[in-house]
């Protein structure tokens, strides 16, 4: 399981012209689920994302996490993060979790993040989504468990 996190001043997800998830300051989380991933890993990664210090303190150092700034998460499932791109000209998705497993672990990730006292918004699993964001920095990190 991996998460691509982007520090944002705002972000939203649109499906078929309708906004389905929207946040102000916080983290856009693109979440990729792979076949061997478990609920324990979803919990661990959610805790890691929530506690990851990427927001500036009074001395302009990255010492604050999303809770410290009363920020939010916008979590978007993105199976393409599970792609193998090591060879060829076309990605392989053989390591990506099947939709049923991916949906379950995506939901568990969101649940564990919300239990950590963070406001969580989501995209729509499996939908064609347009993600709009203002990347603050830009600041982007890939986290894995």
Residue 108: predicted pLDDT: 98
Domain total in the chain: 1
Instruction: Please report, for the domain that includes residue 140, its CATH number.
Output: 3.50.80.10
- Cα separations (Å) of 47 from 97, 102, 109? 21, 18, 9
Please identify every residue annotated as catalytic.
Answer: 78-80
Asked if residue 6 lies in contact with residue 133, where contact means CB atoms within 8 angstroms, the answer is yes
SS3 letters for 46-66?
HHHHHHCCCEECCCCCEEECC
pLDDT digits (tens, 9 = 90+) for 3-47: 999 999 999 999 999 999 999 999 999 999 999 999 999 999 999
Distant-in-sequence, close-in-space partners of 139: CB < 8 Å, separation ≥ 6: 6, 7, 54, 62
Asked if residue 14 lies in contact with residue 128, where contact means CB atoms within 8 angstroms, the answer is no
What would the mean pLDDT of 70-94 be, rounded to a whole number?
95
| Domain assignment of residue 109, given as a range | 2-144
Residue 31: predicted pLDDT: 98
pLDDT digits (tens, 9 = 90+) for 103-139: 999 999 999 999 999 999 999 999 999 999 999 999 9
Residue 94: predicted pLDDT: 93
């Amino acid at each position: 399981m991996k998460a691509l996190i982007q520090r944002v001043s705002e972000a939203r997800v649109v499906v078929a012209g309708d906004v389905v998830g929207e946040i102000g300051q916080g983290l856009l989380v693109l979440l990729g689920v792979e076949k061997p991933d478990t609920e324990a890993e979803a919990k661990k990664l959610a805790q890691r994302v929530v506690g990851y210090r990427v927001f500036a303190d009074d001395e302009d150092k990255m010492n604050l996490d999303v809770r410290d700034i009363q920020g939010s998460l916008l979590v978007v499932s993105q199976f393409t993060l599970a792609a193998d791109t090591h060879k060829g000209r076309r990605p392989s998705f053989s390591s990506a979790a099947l939709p049923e497993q991916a949906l379950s672990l995506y939901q568990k990730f969101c649940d564990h993040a919300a239990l950590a006292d963070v406001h969580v918004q989501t995209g729509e699993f499996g939908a064609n989504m347009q993600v709009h964001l203002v990347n603050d920095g830009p600041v982007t990190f890939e986290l894995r468990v």
